[in-house]
């Protein structure tokens, strides 16, 4: 992957396919006036297992590296713990290491050199006296309402919110200063935290940063993004081919509906950008469906717009789309799965991060109740007498009673 040096082309690459850019002039000033690499960070809280949605920010990291940026990946372990304890403190360290393996594996699988990528674990600097004092300073400025609103789209919302969810946005804002970056990158769901940072960091003596936001790619369900907390909305990075096909076949995919279709969104935001990166050429798209002859035979597309047009008109149906996307996902994940299978340390970290012992529930055997012999119905035959015939069998005890009379 060749590195771009022209400032205008660098800026175009940095902002390519984003939904929104805040304070883009800061980036232009670094490139055109200061004439140095843009320093940028992307943070991820290591909670649930990374899924295919992580390809979207990975593609942007590739764009940043191609534009000559100095990229830092923040493995936000303390953020994971603060987010309503999504990750237990005892395992969050292992999960941070697992995420590091996954990020490296994804980028390597799509041909992105990772030598210049820097990884930082949040707790390595977030527990220092300087950082703690900055938390106190910022908490003296930001209101409870503003902090709650900032984290509304990121922190898990519960009926009785914890104080930790209010600290989370303040830390994310301060990370920009303590990581020494010009830009923070994330999904558009981070926007309120980005605005909080822009509005409040200058009040504690720190400069305003630029913010870059990816669109939120729909998941496999109806009306939602891929989420680590919803197993039906996502496909894990290490998912088996069998499970991939099963999940894709179960995905919401209404005939003719392009908007909100997670499978088409995956082709547009993951498959095509990866193909462009590998070919080092804009507009590349190659998608084939191995359709049986009785249903029209194999079909291929070299334009995402043509695919959308055919799906909208009904020329391409959900069954064929699902079959093609499933094969493409299997193809994308295969080198990552191969890297995992060949690396014992990778496997060891995965077990430490996510292994949950299954407690077998042993059913207690029901003991027959000892009702004794003196109770109604004791001693009756198991089978009722035929209709119309008197009951002839009685207990020995009843016989003795009748003979005494």
Indicate whether 11 and 141 sit together in one domain.
Answer: yes
The vertex-30 CA angle with 24 and 33, nearest 5°, equals: 115
Residue 281 counted as domain residue? yes
Q: Please tell me the predicted confidence (pLDDT) of residue 398.
A: 37
Same domain for 68 and 173, yes or no, is yes
Domain shared by 208 and 251, yes or no = no
164 in any annotated domain: yes
Gap between the terminal Cα atoms of the chain: 109
CA 88/CA 102 separation, integer angstroms: 20
Give residue 251's pLDDT.
92
Six-digit token pair at 78?
């303390």
Residue 248 to residues 113, 233, 243, 289, 341, Cα–Cα distance (Å): 30, 10, 8, 14, 23
pLDDT of residue 319: 94
Residue 373 lies in a domain: no
* C-beta separation of 180 from 39 below 8 A: yes
Domain that holds residue 130: 7-214
Average pLDDT, 10 consecutive residues per value, the chain (405 residues): 89 96 97 97 93 95 95 95 73 93 95 91 96 97 92 76 88 97 96 96 97 90 61 84 94 92 95 94 93 88 96 95 96 96 96 65 52 54 46 41 39
When divided into structural domains, the chain yields a total of 2
Closest CA to 264 of 304, 302, 226: 304
Same domain, 21 and 79: yes
3-state secondary structure of 22: strand
| 180 and 325 co-located in one domain | no
Q: Which of 299, 300, 272 is nearest to 285 (CA)?
A: 272
Domain containing residue 301: CATH number:
1.10.240.10
What pLDDT does residue 164 have? 87
The pLDDT assigned to 355 comes to: 80
Q: Which of 336, 354, 372 is the last residue of a domain?
A: 354
Residue 312 buriedness (CB in 10 A; 0-12 / 13-18 / 19+): middle
28 lies in a domain? Answer: yes
- pLDDT at res. 372: 56
144 with 250, same domain: the answer is no
What pairing do the DSSP bridges indicate for beta strands 118-121 and 299-301? unpaired
CA atoms within 13 A on the CB side of 56: 27
Q: What is the pTM of this model?
A: 0.82
How far apart CA 9 and CA 285 sit, in angstroms, is 22
Question: Is 80 in the same domain as 155?
Answer: yes
Query: 288 forms bridges with which residues in the sheet?
Result: 300
Q: Which H helix or E strand runs over 301?
A: strand 299-301
CA distances from 346 to 102, 107, 239, 280, 317 (A): 9, 16, 15, 30, 39
Interatomic CA distance for residues 198 and 204, integer angstroms: 11
CA dist 322 and 65 (Å) reads 33
Verify that 139 and 179 share a domain, yes or no. yes
Q: How many CA atoms does the CB half-sphere of 259 hold within 13 Å?
A: 0
Residue with tokens 């938390």: 135
CA angle, residues 67, 70, 72, in degrees to nearest 5: 125
Q: Are strands 210-214 and 20-22 parallel, antiparallel or unpaired?
A: antiparallel
Question: What's the CA gap between 235 and 231, in Å, rounded?
Answer: 8
| Domain membership flag for residue 61 | yes
Whether 290 and 323 have beta carbons less than 8 Å apart is answered as yes
Residues 275 and 205 in one domain: no
Q: Are residues 120 and 71 in the same domain?
A: yes
Statement to judge: residues 191 and 246 lie in one domain? no
> Is 235 inside a domain boundary?
no
Supply the CATH number for residue 181's domain.
3.40.50.620
Tokens standing for residue 295: 């249903």
Two tokens, residue 142: 């930001």
């Amino acid at each position: 992957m060749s590195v771009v040096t022209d400032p205008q082309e660098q800026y175009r690459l940095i902002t390519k396919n984003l939904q929104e850019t805040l304070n883009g002039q800061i980036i232009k000033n670094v490139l055109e006036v200061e004439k140095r690499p843009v320093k940028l960070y992307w943070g991820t809280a290591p909670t649930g297992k990374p899924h295919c949605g992580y390809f979207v920010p990975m593609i942007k990291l590739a764009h940043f590296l191609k534009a000559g940026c100095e990229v830092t990946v923040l493995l936000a372990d303390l953020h994971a713990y603060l987010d309503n304890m999504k990750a237990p403190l005892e395992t969050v360290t292992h999960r941070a290491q697992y995420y590091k393996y996954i990020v490296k594996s994804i980028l390597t699988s799509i041909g992105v050199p990772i030598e210049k990528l820097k990884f930082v674990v949040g707790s390595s600097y977030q527990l220092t006296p300087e950082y703690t004092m900055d938390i106190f300073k910022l908490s003296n400025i930001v209101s409870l309402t503003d902090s709650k609103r900032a984290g509304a789209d990121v922190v898990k919302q519960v009926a009785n919110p914890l104080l930790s969810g209010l600290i989370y946005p303040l830390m994310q804002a301060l990370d920009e200063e303590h990581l020494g970056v010009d830009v923070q990158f994330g999904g558009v769901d981070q926007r309120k935290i980005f605005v909080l940072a822009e509005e409040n960091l200058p009040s504690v003596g720190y400069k305003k940063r630029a913010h870059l936001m990816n669109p939120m790619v729909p998941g496999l369900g109806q009306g939602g993004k891929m989420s680590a907390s919803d197993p039906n909305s996502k496909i894990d990075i290490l998912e088996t081919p069998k499970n991939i096909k099963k999940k894709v076949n179960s995905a919401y995919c209404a005939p003719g509906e392009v908007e909100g279709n997670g499978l088409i969104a995956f082709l547009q935001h993951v498959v095509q950008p990866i193909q462009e990166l590998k070919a080092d050429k804009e507009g590349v798209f190659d998608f084939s469906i191995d359709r049986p002859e009785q249903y029209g035979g194999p079909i291929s597309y070299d334009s995402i717009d043509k695919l959308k047009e055919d799906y909208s008109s009904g020329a391409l149906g959900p069954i064929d789309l699902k079959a093609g996307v499933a094969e493409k996902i299997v193809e994308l994940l295969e080198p990552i799965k191969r890297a995992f299978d060949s690396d014992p340390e990778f496997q060891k970290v995965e077990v430490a991060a996510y292994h949950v012992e299954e407690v077998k529930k042993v059913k207690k055997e029901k003991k027959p109740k000892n009702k004794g012999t003196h109770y109604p119905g004791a001693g009756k035959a198991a089978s009722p007498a035929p209709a119309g015939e008197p009951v002839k069998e009685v207990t020995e005890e009843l016989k003795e009673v009748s003979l005494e009379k």
